[in-house]
């Protein structure tokens, strides 16, 4: 459930609002002059947001291992493990 709270009310009623978020699993949308400026969300919702951001940045977790595909950082950018392995094979063949 989502409820709106203005910045002044938030200042005076912080502990009550945090209790509603923590125990009621509600989302408090903070408004200033009638415009939403932020939100207070339960930690489990925040963890889901972070997980989704990680999926977008680093790839989704493998359903079997639970691990993300690792990456190789180079001065040219981010390369996948498959590309890194291919480069290693080419270098080994040349040696």
Residue 5 near residue 28, CB atoms below 8 Å: yes
Helix (H) or strand (E) holding 54: helix 43-58
In sequence order, the β-bridge partners of residue 16 are: none
How confident is the model over 11-29, as pLDDT tens digits? 999 999 999 999 988 999 9
Domains (range + CATH), the chain: 2-43 (3.40.1620), 65-95 (no CATH)
Give the residue carrying structure tokens 């889901």. Answer: 48
Q: What is the mean pLDDT of each run of 10 residues along the chain (95 residues)?
A: 92 94 92 93 89 76 70 49 70 70
Phi and psi (nearest 5°) for 68? -85, 155
């Amino acid at each position: 459930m989502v409820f709106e709270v203005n910045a002044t009310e938030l200042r005076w009623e912080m502990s009550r609002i945090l209790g509603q978020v923590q125990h009621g699993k509600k989302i408090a949308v903070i408004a200033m002059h009638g415009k939403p400026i932020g939100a207070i969300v339960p930690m489990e919702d925040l963890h889901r947001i972070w997980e989704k951001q990680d999926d977008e940045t680093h790839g989704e977790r493998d359903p079997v291992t639970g691990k993300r595909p690792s990456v190789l950082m180079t001065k040219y950018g981010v390369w996948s493990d498959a590309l890194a392995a291919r480069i290693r094979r080419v270098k080994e063949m040349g040696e």
